[in-house]
Amino acid sequence: MKFGENCIPQVSIDCVVFGFHAHQLKVLLLRVRSMEYYALPGGFVGQEEDLDEAAQRVLQERTGLTELYLEQFYTFGQRNRGEIEMQQKLAEVNRLSSAEWLQKRFISVGYYALVDFSLVKATPDALSDSCDWYDINQLPLLMMDHHQMIQKALDTLRIMLEYKPIAFNLLPESFTIAELQRVYETILGKELIRTNFQRKILSLEILERIEKKYTGGAHKAPYVYRFKSTKKPHES
Amino acid sequence: MKFGENCIPQVSIDCVVFGFHAHQLKVLLLRVRSMEYYALPGGFVGQEEDLDEAAQRVLQERTGLTELYLEQFYTFGQRNRGEIEMQQKLAEVNRLSSAEWLQKRFISVGYYALVDFSLVKATPDALSDSCDWYDINQLPLLMMDHHQMIQKALDTLRIMLEYKPIAFNLLPESFTIAELQRVYETILGKELIRTNFQRKILSLEILERIEKKYTGGAHKAPYVYRFKSTKKPHES
DNA sequence: CCAAAAGTGTTAATATTACACCCATGA
DNA sequence: TCATGGGTGTAATATTAACACTTTTGG
């Protein structure tokens, strides 16, 4: 999807991509070329494209992943969203001074994604010179309302985590219970009691134990689990 | 906001307005002139208008109310949303055959509102010849995905009701606990035990008892309460 | 005084929290 | 055999559900 080409004017999507690494919750950010701001991965919506498809496509371009947990969380439409500088930059880079709709205010539909950090091939888009992970607690200066978007996405994620066990999506195909617990602790921002966590997770009966065990440890190897369903619990 | 005049193309808002009357949960629907479909109150977003403001404005036009509980719940953007007939109707009624953006697919931001049924002056818009309440369990045939919108709004409302006590907004300024309980029972679709409900609601300490009591009853009059905060708990 | 409204008390069932403790196992 | 992973048991506490019963009060 090229900018301005056959897509819905004044509508964009922005994606908060969550990853987990080194005991930290991270988000994927782009550094907009020759600007001091960072930005969320985003894009536009084709005339013949579902909103969800557009988000999926953008994330495929930024991460290389086709299957990922993706959920719409809010639509941002404040009048002052424009911050002209950015729009001008966009128009400039695309040499589309004629595309006047790029100068206008945008309504942005926010999605959040949960991905396996280790599988992501972070790839900058045409406007950016880097695409990297940042600790959610140490975010750089973000453009427009992207900081607010991340906050809202995180709030939503915390609430959702109590409804359904979606945290698996942040881990590789197979993982140990201890790793899963660390994910929960990081997202919820509090320590959990190991034995109770184990009981609760296993009682959900959504995990199955895999044969191969963790290797390399000096002592007993932990069991390795994977999510029972063959496909990711997308829109389940 | 006139159609096509200085507003964001291909973006609309639709509002699910909930009201409570005669022990039933109701939604406000418009009957589109000379069509067999009913529709949710909706409208477009001005270039200089917040999304929230647009929803507020639309609801003010349809209900006469300026202060109401309003919450965004989802944005609908499926590729097949267009259903050409409706767009054509819109264009025709507005005699805007030149406004080609009206023929295109729309992204619609969904809001739900909780209002005091008795205060609403239901007013049809330019495209409709009626604006009325319908029992949520006996909805007429709705255009496009509006039925799905109502369902999603209701799902969201049920979840939100467990988080914060927003049900007051469906009642008049003052009300009895029994009335409030009926609202909860209707929304949640199950009976509640009176004494426990009373305890729980009063323990939240968000209600204050008013002097004047219910009149007309043959026996003891129930106490009348109102929400403690002076203004509605909008975005609290 | 009657009947509806409001509120208190109490019990059982269930869920949550926090630990102590035991079994399994691989180098 | 020992340090770590994995799991069971259980007591203390909190929450919820259900219902009996008392008090209030307008006519």
> Between the CA of B214 and the C1' of C4, what is the distance in angstroms?
12
Nucleotides of C under 7 A from a protein CB: 2-9, 17-21, 24-27
In contact, B110 and B149? CB cutoff 8 Å: yes
- Please state the φ and ψ torsions of residue B197, each to the nearest 5 degrees: -65, -45
**Which amino acid does the sequence have at B219?**
H
B203 touches strand D (CB under 7 A): no
**pLDDT value at position A3?**
53
B205 burial (CB, 10 Å; 0-12 / 13-18 / 19+) is exposed
- In chain B, what is the straight-line distance between the N-terminal and C-terminal CA atoms, in Å? 29
In contact, B193 and B178? CB cutoff 8 Å: no
A12: β partners: A44, A108
Model pTM score: 0.89
Nearest-CA residue of chain A relative to B104? A47
Q: Specify which residue's alpha carbon is closest to the C1' of nucleotide D2.
A: A219
Option in A47, A78, A109 nearest B50 (CB): A78
In contact, A173 and A232? CB cutoff 8 Å: no
pLDDT in tens, chain A (236 residues): 445 568 999 999 999 999 999 999 999 999 998 788 999 999 999 999 999 999 999 999 999 999 999 999 999 988 877 555 555 555 555 555 445 556 678 999 999 999 999 999 999 999 899 999 999 999 999 999 999 999 999 999 999 998 889 999 999 999 999 999 999 999 999 999 999 999 999 999 899 988 766 566 667 888 899 998 754 444 43
What distance in Å separates the CA atoms of residue A173 and residue A159, rounded to the nearest whole number?
24
3-state secondary structure A53-93: HHHHHHHHHHHCCCCCEEEEEEEECCHHHHCHHHHHHHHHH
What 8-state DSSP symbol labels residue A223? P
Interface of A with B (CB under 8 A): 8-11, 45, 47-53, 72, 74-79, 104-105, 107, 109
In contact, A156 and A73? CB cutoff 8 Å: yes
Chain A positions touching B10 (Cβ under 8 A) are 8-11
In contact, A59 and A30? CB cutoff 8 Å: no
Least confident range of A40-54, B2-16, B57-71, B177-191: B2-16
For B99-157, write each residue's pLDDT tens digit: 555 668 899 999 999 999 999 999 999 989 999 999 999 999 999 999 999 999 999 99
**pLDDT value at position A195?**
96
Both tokens of A192, joined, read 């959990």
Q: Is the pLDDT of residue B42 over 50?
A: yes
